[in-house]
Chain A
Amino acid sequence: MAEVVLQLVGASCRHYISAPTLTKPWKKIRGPGIPKIDLALYRGTILGLVGPNGAGKTTLLRMLAGVLPLQKGTAVFTSLKGDQTIERELSTSVELRKVIGHMPEQVRWQGKKSVHDAITEIAAMRGSSEHRILGLIKLVGLNSRIDSPLDELSQGMRQRLTLATALLGSPDILLLDEPFNGLDPVAAQAFTQLLQQLSEKGVSIVISSHQVSGLIGIIDRIALLHRGQLLIEGEIKSVEKDLELSDRFDLTGTSQPPSSKLVKKLGMELLKSETDQNSWQMQLKGNPDGVLKKLISEGIEVESWQPHAPDLVEMLCSSTGLRVEDVGLEITSSAFLPLINRGVEEE
């Protein structure tokens, strides 16, 4: 396994919310956020940070980026010097920001300022050279737009500009908040390749998303976040296994679907089945060895057979043991995760 590049230990950051009382109209209490988290980022790996709306993905990324302070806990950074690894605790947000590139979600660059001027302004805060600025503009494919006003950029181009600002300091860690929003498929593909190249160079990348499917094939590890709590983190295969979501397959076919008896006989578990007039689709779970061959020999007309990638809903329901309504829409108030006791609200 790759070595750890950054480790958050007992890190916490909760937003202050107004809770006025008659005697204290200015009173604020600690509200939602990240109550406590332990997370390790590995060199040269891409971590997918997934969770539903309001899970705390953006807050966690902002903590990692040094935009929000760590109210509790520490961030330990490991750097490489030759063959030696040097561990040091990053005591200030500025130190954290030196090693991290942050690409926030959907930055709406606007105004008459040119692309070059906009990135130069950010680069001045990092001390990046003109050569670096021009190189990055070229890297993200904005060379032909270098003198265009920001108002004339499409959302995809704005995303690329934000990526260029995140790469300014040659960061060891790159944080991307919903980076694929607004990108067309071609740009998304190019973006993915760029991320893989950066990862091969040893950059640790964190991509937040509320869709697991879009990340499969890009990420090496996955972290599932819900209501500010890290439910599970690890390599995709092991997370799937831990959540009992591995070894699932989607089948489609025509004419008669396999009977439940046949499925059982093949040692598989039938999870879902839908039958139309001339076609059918199924989801099976179990060891796939030889199953397809046996189905065909039984005269079943199979059109497609592919592993089923878990989605966010399945992962959340599996890890919390809650129903989808409770997880997604918070219908039942008792659905509050009992994993960490946040204690009483603090002033």
Chain B
Amino acid sequence: MSGKVSYRKVTSLIIKEKIFSTRMLLMFPILLLFIPGMAWGFSDPSIILPGGHRPETPMEVLFYSSLGIVFGGTMCAVLMAFDGVSKERASGVLEVKLAQPMSRLSQTLALVHGTSVAVIIPVTILLLISVFIIRYRMGAWPELMDIIIHIIATGLILTWYTLFTLIASSKAREQGTAMAFGVGIWFFFTFLWALVTSMVALASGIAIGQDNDSSWIALEGALDLFSPNGVYHHILETRLSGVQRGVSGWQIWLMTIAWTVLPLWILAKRMEDLVP
């Protein structure tokens, strides 16, 4: 069996195991509530958001619904990956795997691929259901490119959180630490990043939260490049008209590559040096 076939087989076994796990069964109602639930809510013709915003196009609804991905999808990725390495390391199964003639890099890539795809599949299905909900509620489809970009961006953010958590799992000797690290990162980027942005704004003498202040918008846009959630929203915003946050397209794609390659490189390096 060639290396590619082995890689595909190992990846598909991981996907199968994770997707039918009890954890996914528990997460699925939450994802259901967060993703199609938000699409249902934001596509309500009479909804008025705080600040007087009103989603008018299907893509805007998809954009607002992405909050469900940021809250629910990424948490699902953390929960699926937190024991990806630590559990097998503690039980000795990792040593059995590392003794097989499949390179550690291939094993690492299969783990990342399998774990992230196990989250991406249900999330994508729910996203597509959201598209139908939007059509039903608003009477219009989002553009095909909107849907494609949304799915790609969602796949990326879920992969990033999977990577962060797997790095934590490879560092931690026991699962509690891996879990705390994964949830900590999720909490930091999901809730505390606004605090970081505010602190930087305060230190720079920029008024905080002024939506009409171009300096605040530019600062927030720039700082968002250093957060996976921020980059995710930057990618989605490329499909929205009238959004100007002072960030160029090349900067967004550069940071997208950085957020993908750097954690992957760290994890691969870590797994290469790992003593079971």
A residues apposed to B, CB below 8 Å: 15, 62, 65-68, 94-95, 97-98, 100-102, 104-110, 112-113, 117, 120-122, 124-127, 162, 165-166, 168-169
Confirm or deny: B17 has a beta carbon within 8 angstroms of a beta carbon on chain A: yes
Residues in B with CB closer than 8 Å to A169 are 101
Contacts of A109 in B (CB 8 A): 91, 93
Q: Which of B6-14, B62-70, B120-128 contacts A (4 or more CB under 8 A)?
A: B6-14
Q: How far is the CA of A110 from the CA of B175 in the complex (A)?
A: 14
Q: Is A125 within 8 A of B95, CB to CB? A: no
Q: Is A124's CB under 8 angstroms from B9's CB?
A: yes
Which of A94, A108, A113 interacts with B101 by CB under 8 Å?
A94
A125 near B276 with CB under 8 A, answer no
In the complex, the answer to whether B99 meets A66 with C-beta atoms within 8 Å is yes
Rounded to whole angstroms, the CA-CA distance of A66 and B100 in the bound complex is: 9
What's the least CB distance linking A160 to chain B, in Å? 13
Chain A residue at minimum C-beta to C-beta distance from B3: A127
Q: In whole angstroms, what is the CA distance A68 to B104 when docked?
A: 11
With both beta carbons as reference points, the residue of chain B lying nearest to A118 in the complex is identified as B93
Closest CB in chain A relative to B112 CB, distance in Å: 16
Q: List 29 A-B contacts (CB under 8 A).
A: A62-B95, A62-B276, A67-B99, A67-B276, A94-B102, A97-B99, A97-B100, A102-B96, A102-B99, A104-B92, A104-B95, A104-B96, A104-B276, A106-B92, A107-B96, A109-B91, A121-B10, A121-B13, A122-B96, A124-B6, A125-B6, A125-B97, A125-B101, A125-B102, A126-B6, A126-B100, A126-B102, A127-B5, A169-B101
Of B1, B96, B97, B101, chain A has the most CB atoms within 10 Å of the CB of B96
Complexed CA–CA distance, A21 and B194 (Å): 36
Contact of A124 among B13, B22, B90, B91 (CB under 8 A): B13
9 tightest Cβ-Cβ pairs between the two chains A and B? A127-B1, A125-B100, A107-B92, A102-B99, A124-B9, A125-B102, A97-B101, A108-B91, A104-B95
For window 1-30 of B, CB contacts with A under 8 Å fall at: 1-2, 5-6, 9-10, 13, 17, 22
What 15 new A-B contacts, CB under 8 Å, besides A15-B275, A117-B17, A121-B17?
A62-B95, A67-B95, A97-B99, A97-B101, A98-B101, A104-B96, A107-B95, A107-B96, A108-B92, A117-B13, A125-B6, A125-B102, A126-B102, A162-B96, A169-B101
Q: How far is the CB of B2 from chain A (nearest CB, A)?
A: 8
Indicate if the CB atoms of B101 and A126 lie closer than 8 Å.
Answer: yes
The residues in B between 72 and 96 inclusive whose CB is less than 8 angstroms from any CB of A are: 90-93, 95-96
In the complex, chain B residues whose CB is within 8 Å of the CB of A105: 92
Nearest-neighbor residue (CB-CB) of B1 within chain A? A127
B94-119 vs A, CB cutoff 8 Å, 1 = contact: the mask equals 01111111110001000000000000
Min C-beta distance of B174 to chain A, whole Å: 13
Q: How far, in whole Å, are A265 and B6 apart by their CA atoms in the complex?
A: 71
Contacts of B9 in A (CB 8 A): 124
Q: List the B side residues contacting A120 at CB < 8 Å.
A: 13
Taking CB atoms, residues of chain B closer than 8 Å to A127 are: 1-2, 5-6
Cα A108 to Cα B90 with chains together (Å): 8
SS of A interface (majority): mixed
B10: nearest chain-A partner, CB-CB? A124
The interface residues of chain A lying within 8 Å CB-to-CB of B6 are 124-127
Q: Once the chains are docked, how many angstroms separate the CA of A162 from the CA of B91?
A: 12
Q: How far is the CB of B147 from chain A (nearest CB, A)?
A: 34
Which residues of A are found within 8 Å of B100, using beta-carbon distances?
97, 122, 125-126, 168
Q: How far is the CB of A191 from chain B (nearest CB, A)?
A: 18
Q: How many angstroms between the C-alpha atoms of A98 and B103 in the bound complex?
A: 11
What A residues does B5 contact at CB under 8 A?
127
A122-B97 in contact (CB<8A): yes
How far is B9's CA from A15's CA once the two chains are assembled, in angstroms? Answer: 33
How many Å lie between the Cα of A126 and that of B3 in the bound state?
Answer: 9
Give every chain A residue within 8 A of B101 (Cβ-Cβ).
94-95, 97-98, 125-126, 169
Contacts of B95 in A (CB 8 A): 62, 67, 102, 104, 107
In the bound complex, residues from chain B placing their C-beta under 8 Å from that of A162 are 96
Point out which of A97, A98, A106, A168 has the most chain B C-beta atoms below 10 A from its C-beta.
A97
A338 to chain B, nearest CB (A): 28
Q: How far is the CA of A98 from the CA of B6 in the complex (A)?
A: 14
Choose from B1, B91, B107 the contact partner of A107 (Cβ within 8 Å): B91
Asked if B96 contacts A165 (CB within 8 A), the reply is: yes
State how many angstroms separate the Cβ of A173 from the closest Cβ of chain B.
12
Chain A residue at smallest Cβ distance from B107: A125
Considering only CB atoms, which chain A residue lies closest to B16 in the complex? A117
The interface bits of chain B over 232-259 (1 if a CB of A lies within 8 angstroms of the residue's CB, else 0) are 0000000000000000000000000000
Residues of A within 8 A of B103 (CB): 94
Residues of B within 8 A of A62 (CB): 95, 276
- Shortest distance between the CB of B251 and any CB in chain A (Å): 31
Find chain A residues with CB under 8 A from B13 CB: 117, 120-121, 124
Query: By CB atoms of chain B within 10 A, which of A62, A97, A102, A121 has the most?
Result: A121
User: How many angstroms from the CA of A117 to the CA of B9 in the assembled complex?
Assistant: 12
How many angstroms from the CA of A15 to the CA of B13 in the assembled complex? 33
**A167 CB to nearest chain B CB (Å):** 12
**Which of chain B's residues have a CB closer than 8 A to the CB of A165?**
96
Closest to B5 in A: A127
Q: Is the CB of A110 within 8 A of B1?
A: no
Contacts of A113 in B (CB 8 A): 17
Query: Closest Cβ of chain B: how far from A26's Cβ, in Å?
Result: 14
